[in-house]
């Protein structure tokens, strides 16, 4: 089985470094172009299924990519971005104190931290693990599955596959339109960043 996991295209919130979380922010023109580029790069695959987050930026990205495949798009809220609570819609520099790093929230010691009154890293991890288990149980080895989601779930999936003990996988950024190619064979995951 192959999972092609894609981060949605750029939005104006991405451009201005605002925390989006569960906000329904559409793609901007650059984001639409990024989705078109992803569609071109994925034409080599015989995609059999498409899943996407319930948030508009992921749905728009999935619809643009799907113009090459014409498959049903299944919305799955387990793929939604992390709920950042009272941090949503704020710029990162409005949230952080001088010297603080936004990426520290992804460290292992902060799995249950919730300074933003939203979703914890552990809660996001549970959603992502549930989704991966469901995919394995409900799809054939020959399936090629497109998953359109957000940086948070992609970081978490990458971290789960690579090993959470190495926090670099949780903290390293994922760009708009980036693709993770995940292969599941012989009960093991392998991942390649494209």
Catalytic residues: 8, 81
Q: Are 23 and 88 in contact (CB under 8 A)?
A: yes
Q: Are 62 and 50 in contact (CB under 8 A)?
A: yes
Pairing of strands 73-75, 144-149: unpaired
CA neighbor of 118 nearest in space, from 169, 80, 158: 80
- Calpha distance 10→20 (Å, rounded): 11
Number of C-beta neighbours around residue 114 at 10 A = 14
- Calpha distance 151→193 (Å, rounded): 13
Helix, strand or coil for residue 137?
helix
- Calpha distance 42→54 (Å, rounded): 22
């Amino acid at each position: 089985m192959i999972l092609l996991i894609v981060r949605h295209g750029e939005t104006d919130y991405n451009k201005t470094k605002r925390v989006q979380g569960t906000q329904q922010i559409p793609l901007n023109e650059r984001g639409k172009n990024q989705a078109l580029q992803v569609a071109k790069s994925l034409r080599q695959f015989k995609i059999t299924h498409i899943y996407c987050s319930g948030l508009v930026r992921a749905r728009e990205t999935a619809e643009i990519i799907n113009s090459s495949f014409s498959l049903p798009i299944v919305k799955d809220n387990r793929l939604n971005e992390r709920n950042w609570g009272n941090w949503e819609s704020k710029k990162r520099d409005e949230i952080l104190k001088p010297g603080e790093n936004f990426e520290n929230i992804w460290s292992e010691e902060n799995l249950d931290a919730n300074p933003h009154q939203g979703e914890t890293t552990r809660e996001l991890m549970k959603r992502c693990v549930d989704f991966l288990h469901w995919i394995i149980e409900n799809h054939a080895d020959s399936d090629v599955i497109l998953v359109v989601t957000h940086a948070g779930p992609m970081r978490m999936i990458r971290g789960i596959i690579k090993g959470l003990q190495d926090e670099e996988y949780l903290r390293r950024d994922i760009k708009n339109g980036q693709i993770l190619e995940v292969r599941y064979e012989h009960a093991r995951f392998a991942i390649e960043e494209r």
